Amino acid sequence: MERYYISTLIIIVYIACNYFLFYTWHPDFEKSFIAKRRKKILAKSNRHYELKWKKNELISIYQKLVGDNLIELIDINSNEIDYRLFANIIYNGTVPEEPSFNLNMNHVDTKYFKDVLAAGDRNFTFDVFLKIFKNKNKTPNPRSLSAAYKRAENKGRKPRHKSEIDNAFTC
């Protein structure tokens, strides 16, 4: 009886291995499977950063920020829908040629927003952030944002729109 089970197991493993070898050595395998994997690998390697937020969370974040009048699309004549553009830029890890969004925030709020959005990703630097966003004080530099935040922190002041930003990031 044991011989029957062992021989059946050997035959099943033999058939499975033959199917696997036939499939992987077939010309269609390279066209379908490898092309898809290569595309995913290249897409990941082209990312400048990778944040923890999912697309649907980013859409929700954007809509809450718009509702509080904290963010707006710079090019209102754009063909792309603003919340989709926001989600695509942040989720895909791409950096646009020019800033796409204007933050209706001061330097302290802008730095706080960047810190909450980045949530520990080292690749999402101020330079990358400022290629995506402007704030109401035109285009700040990383040094001015950090200095303003430190001054406010030393005086015991919190960002003016802290509660709205925190509310937007509660998905």
| d(C-alpha 119, C-alpha 138), whole Å | 24
| d(C-alpha 164, C-alpha 157), whole Å | 16
> Starting from the edge strand earliest in sequence, which strands make up the sheet with 71-73, in order?
71-73, 101-103, 133-135
> What mean pLDDT value characterizes the chain?
81
Return the minimum-mean-pLDDT range out of 39-53, 89-103, 111-125.
39-53
| pLDDT tens profile 7-42 | 899 999 999 998 888 877 777 777 777 667 766 665
| pLDDT tens profile 116-126 | 888 867 777 88
